[in-house]
Structure 1
């Protein structure tokens, strides 16, 4: 019999069903791992199956189609077959016998004899006949969509904006496993001390080549480490760490984080300011504001970060004009730059989402513009790689607000220092980190 709390394949199917109905893969995984009794090896397998199946969903569905044809299959049975197929094709180290035995046992336990027989038949037919060739797809657009498992509209936009070669490099990179990265809290620990402490605990930690305060961590979940629990570090992607780096922060500054949840960038700003400085951190939703406060407390910045429930577009009467030295607008966006880390994004979003978000981004920038002091800076960032939400938003804002200039975005490690644009585009294939856009807008005296 299968122990449901200890079986990574069973848990993977449960998570995949929830994600197929709209849940977020990273949140579901985090919750299941926290509540399960899995070993680290099984956590690794669970994570690999869940992300792998979602990342390669269109490819796997293409491979599965001839084996189930037009039969109506329950959601969990469909996800079970996709997960078995993923393991067979992409996980060389996992024996086919183990995949078959456990998948059939799950079918028997979750369903009935008819489902067990169906799953058994499909798996053995796959093994006997092999999978259909992608080369059989005649339409070039459909071929790339299924090969990379990305919605056609995203490929079309990337081709138009970046060229087919760069688009293909990005598309190939997002199906690789995401690295686990963390940001050290420089108020509590040095980078060298954090790396040494993690290595002593059995992790494999190394210096980030992207972000000044970043480290790369393997061999276990860093969120389970003592350093995470005591606020010496936090889990954050390297690209996201660049945002606070580019803000040109100094002790004594007044700072607004206009779209702050879950608080990663707010805490990064806090550790770069003086201990008596304050950040006003806003978010629309009370649950997300609670997350900001929780992160601030864990990392020792509860007294510095004032988290409030407020739509940044309504900040007008709340704060006087010319008040902030620095404003961060980490704007709501389509998240297309996160396709490696949150793979379901590539299937859920549509082009009109980007166009609608562009309007909201402009409204937020317009609302905060008057709150910036002369010579103050708005840092605008997104985790998307589409121009509609990046360059186009900045261009339109500058037309509406000629009192602002676009200035050079600079990181501590001088990333892409030879680029021709003042803003910074980080693509998923550049450094194996999330796709990000960062622009700095300075208000003229």
Structure 2
């Protein structure tokens, strides 16, 4: 790629267009671009800030932009260029307005034609001249919260029902903060202290997680995915909340464990890290994801502990005898609403009906795997969503069907507080991903 195309703003436009048009995941698309291009730390940080900033504030940016474009049909990339420029004008105080305009006009000229350049120039000058609308003009409270914090109305409504107005606002406010760069140390290869020391020597700012033992929060210094620690499988990029799931399983090290919905394998690797003489069987329905788990196992040094199998967990009877496992983890397919900070586009892609449909899938998976937990064994259920539909209601329905199981208290090493035995982490609690964890013991 030539130097002109290494412009971080141009890269941002292209990533945002892929997310909007092709449904790409922002974090994966961003990481791919960062790995492919040797950007300076300043440019890499600017690119990251713009991509996440636009997606986190998308409904608000569209609300501001609409009076200036009045529904005009335009190419996807032009729309993303305007949204990106508007984001910089309103949120990035250290970037001068003239620099934003100059870069936008340059991109419009290079990617489009003279008409595109004139249109982009006219819109941005009009925004600077007239200013944008205040969300206070929106009379309906829920709609105003939705636009102000760029979270669809249905999610705002569900959260208000679950946790009340004040907690909902607190959650919404927290979503606009930049996601932390969290990593989990592969303690089979290296200690937490050694990783912290090595990263600090490379110019990173590092602190211990207040949520998950064995996790570190990394600030400044760039992206850990570009370090040798990551390449050698000594660390994995994994949010603190996600790391809690396996931690809460309370593994002794000699168990036969099933990870029923394993891809991409982060929790499988963590289970293997905790095992000494035990084994973990990782299931996923997609061949390419099983390959990814295998690659991660090789990188992390766990190929002897991990067995991969392409299989729908609901069809386990063809391969396993009942009561085959000491512990089963169902990290269930879910709406991902707890990831709104890290994957901000997820909020725009899901509906309440999606959540209701997933509820049925989740209950179905738990129902099918239950037979394969031994007596006095454990079934752990987790999701990266914060919607009761996919969390507490799933567990209630499962327990009504399976009286041989009882719910037990979720315990973590750092003793995070839980409610009604389950652990629900909201995005504002620790500025980590939203997550839900429940443990069930088979008593007969």
Q: TM-score range by the shorter chain?
A: over 0.9
**8 A Cα contact 1:155 1:167, kept in partner:** yes
**8 A Cα contact 2:399 2:406, kept in partner:** yes
Report SS of the residue matched to 1:154.
helix
**8 A Cα contact 1:376 1:443, kept in partner:** yes
**8 A Cα contact 2:322 2:372, kept in partner:** yes
Give, in angstroms, the shift of residue 189 of structure 1. Answer: 1.2
Tell me the C-alpha RMSD between the 2 structures.
Answer: 1.0
Could you give the per-residue CA deviations for residues 282-325 of structure 1, whole angstroms, max 9, x where no partner exists? 00101111111111111111111111110000001211111111
- What pairs with 1:149-298 in structure 2 (closer than 5 Å)? 149-218=150-219, 219-274=221-276, 276-298=277-299
**8 A Cα contact 2:379 2:441, kept in partner:** yes
Aligned residue number for residue 328 of structure 1: 329
Aligned residue number for residue 401 of structure 2: 400
Aligned length: 441
Give, in angstroms, the shift of residue 4 of structure 1. Answer: 4.3
Aligned residue number for residue 444 of structure 1: 443
Q: Distance in 1 between matches of 2:13 and 2:147?
A: 22
Report SS of the residue matched to 2:413.
coil
**8 A Cα contact 1:5 1:36, kept in partner:** no
Could you give the per-residue CA deviations for residues 118-170 of structure 1, whole angstroms, max 9, x where no partner exists? 11111111111111111111222221110010110000000011111111111
The runs of at least 4 consecutive aligned structure 1 residues that moved more than 2 Å come to: 2-5
Aligned residue number for residue 435 of structure 1: 434
Q: Distance in 2 between matches of 1:204 and 1:225?
A: 14
Give, in angstroms, the shift of residue 70 of structure 1. Answer: 2.8
Report SS of the residue matched to 1:5.
helix
Q: Gaps spanning 5+ residues in structure 1: where?
A: none
- What pairs with 1:108-123 in structure 2 (closer than 5 Å)? 108-123=109-124
Q: Distance in 2 between matches of 1:168 and 1:284?
A: 38
Could you give the per-residue CA deviations for residues 357-380 of structure 1, whole angstroms, max 9, x where no partner exists? 111111111111111111100000
Give, in angstroms, the shift of residue 5 of structure 1. Answer: 3.4
Give, in angstroms, the shift of residue 253 of structure 1. Answer: 0.7
Could you give the per-residue CA deviations for residues 10-37 of structure 1, whole angstroms, max 9, x where no partner exists? 0100111111111111111111111123
Report SS of the residue matched to 1:306.
strand
Report SS of the residue matched to 1:321.
coil
**8 A Cα contact 1:5 1:38, kept in partner:** no
Q: Distance in 1 between matches of 2:422 and 2:17?
A: 40
Matched, 1:6 2:19: no
**8 A Cα contact 1:354 1:389, kept in partner:** yes
Q: Gaps spanning 5+ residues in structure 2: where?
A: none
Q: TM-score, normalised by structure 2?
A: 0.98
Give, in angstroms, the shift of residue 78 of structure 1. Answer: 0.8
